[in-house]
Amino acid sequence: MTTTEESPTASGSGSNATANFQATRTYRAGQRTADPERVSAVVSAVLDGINRAVLDHEVTYDEFQAVKQWLIEVGEGGEWPLFLDVFVEHSVEEVAARSQDGTKGSILGPYYLPGQARLDTPASLPQRPDERGTPLVFSGRVEGTDGAPLPGAELDIWQADEQGYYSGFAPHLPDGNLRGVVVTDDHGCFEIHTIEPAPYQIPTDGPTGKMIEAAGWHPWRPAHLHLLVSAPGHRTITTQLYFRGGQWIDSDVARATKPELILDPSDTGDGTRSVEYHFVLEQG
Ligand code: MBD
Ligand code: FE
């Protein structure tokens, strides 16, 4: 099996995402026992959808066997977190968003790693000495839905580098690169110095990428910053921010963009770009 030790490619990242999911499961919700009626309702709907597709498209035995083989490969390649976060999480997030106020959310994705360095504002995300990419100064404020600033709020931020790789999921990157937990100042303000990320390509050499290619789709997500924004007494927001004019904004393979989440950085004149964003957290 390919690992990220041997190769920084997508199947490497995908299997790494499975290991990460299992290692960090306790950070995630969803351990409680489900109501049998709900299990029956949801599982029936999923199976109905699959059977409907088989009948409507007259799926053959050859195709059925190919699907079984592919499902086995997704598991063996460790790509279930990748596949599910790309193709399904956007609907789970849409449901969650129905009861959420304040800043719009987006999907978490497979590459969050808890426990990063805590940094006071103004903060520079950990970078290699020769980190490539356009410098970006990302600043703003965190406030409640009542407009009150939230000092001591945390922005847990992670992003791809200028080649589209995430630290922890590519062996050539140092641990913690372009990740950090930035704490707001007495006025709820933050300032983060980083670089603009590149678009992200689903690894083309793994089963998820092969399915995308077989269907003739593209494997790209637009460039984005990931954030978990939290403050005591407030509901944590999981979101992503994109860049105006960025490639794939209107055709994100993970369908995770929203118009409210698009940044429009301006040139500062010295090759740096700068942009502000205000986060609004719901009480409770
Ligand atoms: C990513 O970088 C990402 O954000 C998601 C949601 C899925 C795959 C890779
Ligand atoms: Fe991402």
Beta bridge partners of 156: 181, 228
Residue 21: predicted pLDDT: 86
Name residue, tokens 């109905």.
Answer: 48
CA-angle at 256, arms to 251 and 262, nearest 5°: 85
Looking at all shown ligands, the one closest to residue 89's CA atom is 1
Q: Is the CB of 200 under 6 A from ligand 1?
A: yes
Residue 5: predicted pLDDT: 41
Protein residue with least CA distance to atom 5, ligand 1: 109
Provide the 3-class DSSP secondary structure of residue 236: coil
Q: Locate 47 and state its tokens.
A: 């199976």
Q: Is the CB of 234 under 6 A from ligand 1?
A: no
Atom of ligand 1 nearest to the CA of 254: 6
Expressed in angstroms and rounded, the spacing between residue 248 Cα and the centre of ligand 1 is: 13
Looking at all shown ligands, the one closest to residue 107's CA atom is 1
Expressed in angstroms and rounded, the spacing between residue 143 Cα and the centre of ligand 2 is: 25
Distance CA 222, CA 234 (A): 29
Residue 6: predicted pLDDT: 40
Asked whether 92 and 109 are in contact (CB, 8 A), the reply is no
pLDDT, one tens digit for every residue, the chain (284 residues): 333 344 445 545 766 788 888 887 655 566 667 899 999 999 999 999 999 999 999 999 999 999 999 999 999 999 999 999 999 999 999 999 999 999 999 999 999 999 999 999 999 999 999 999 999 999 999 999 999 999 999 999 999 999 999 999 999 999 999 999 999 999 999 999 999 999 999 999 999 999 999 999 999 999 999 999 999 999 999 999 999 999 999 999 999 999 999 999 999 999 999 999 999 999 98
Distance CA 71, CA 66 (A): 9
Residue 2: predicted pLDDT: 35
Atom of ligand 1 nearest to the CA of 160: 2
Atom of ligand 1 nearest to the CA of 109: 6
Protein residue with least CA distance to atom 9, ligand 1: 109
Distance CA 236, CA 112 (A): 15
- Among candidate residues 220, 217, 199, 21, the one with its CA nearest the CA of residue 108: 21
Residue 29: predicted pLDDT: 60
Pocket test for ligand 1, best of 112, 202, 221 (most atoms within 8 A of CB): 221
What Rg value do the Cα atoms of the chain yield, rounded?
20
Which residue segments constitute the domains of the chain, with CATH numbers given?
Answer: 10-281 (2.60.130.10)
- Among candidate residues 284, 278, 259, the one with its CA nearest the CA of residue 103: 278
Residue 16: predicted pLDDT: 79
Protein residue with least CA distance to atom 1, ligand 1: 109
Name residue, tokens 């997704």.
Answer: 74
Distance CA 60, CA 68 (A): 13
Question: What does residue 239 show for φ and ψ, rounded to 5 degrees?
Answer: -150, 180
pTM, 2 dp: 0.93
